[in-house]
Amino acid sequence: MKFKAIKKILLLLAMISFTLTNYVMIPVSAFAQSDDLYGLKTTAEATNLPKGTVQPAAVIAKIINIVLGLLGILMVIIVIYGGYMWMTSAGSEEKITKAKHLIGNAVVGLMIILASYAISSFIVGNIYKASKGG
């Protein structure tokens, strides 16, 4: 009995480390080349705002990125939890069905989050282009 509990804990730790490695650390390193969000650093120069003034579009873009990032992390955690429920169901059809629905809903949520990120990125990028004049 004790061995099964240890296996479950090790499986959970492996899933968490996999998630942290692939979904948290790798994307951060991919954007390490530039700290410019949507190319909005030059907007302050184009509008002749005083030095240190933050563009509203940049603030909105950062807020959208933070909220969607947190929602994405939450959905990945829900998928992992659904997988854990499935693996620990011990053949119970009720638990398996519940886990399948949970994973399915989380995947739909991830698709909605990705679509909203793409739409918001498109809108913020076009607002930036319109404010710059090209």
Residue 11 lies in a domain: no
Residue 13 lies in a domain: no
Q: Say if residues 102 and 78 touch (Cβ distance below 8 Å).
A: yes
Residue 14 lies in a domain: no
Identify the domain containing residue 114 by its residue range: 34-132
Largest CA distance in the chain: 69
Residue 29 lies in a domain: no
CB atoms within 10 A of CB 82: 20
Q: How far apart are the first and last CA of the chain?
A: 67
What pLDDT does 66 receive? 85
How far is the CA of 15 from the CAs of 12, 70, 72, 89, 107, in angstroms?
A: 5, 18, 16, 17, 17
Torsion of CA 8, 9, 13, 18, to 10 degrees: 0
Residue 121 lies in a domain: yes
Cα separation, 92 vs 102, whole angstroms: 15
Tell me how many domains the chain contains. Answer: 1
What pLDDT does 29 receive? 47
Residue 52 phi/psi, 5° resolution? 95, -5
Cα separation, 119 vs 130, whole angstroms: 16
Residue 27 lies in a domain: no
The model's pLDDT over 12-55, given as tens digits with 9 standing for 90+, comes to 767 776 666 666 555 544 444 555 555 555 555 555 556 666 66
The model's pLDDT over 63-79, given as tens digits with 9 standing for 90+, comes to 888 888 888 888 889 89
Burial class of residue 99 in the structure, from the number of CB atoms within 10 Å of its CB (0-12 exposed, 13-18 middle, 19+ buried): buried
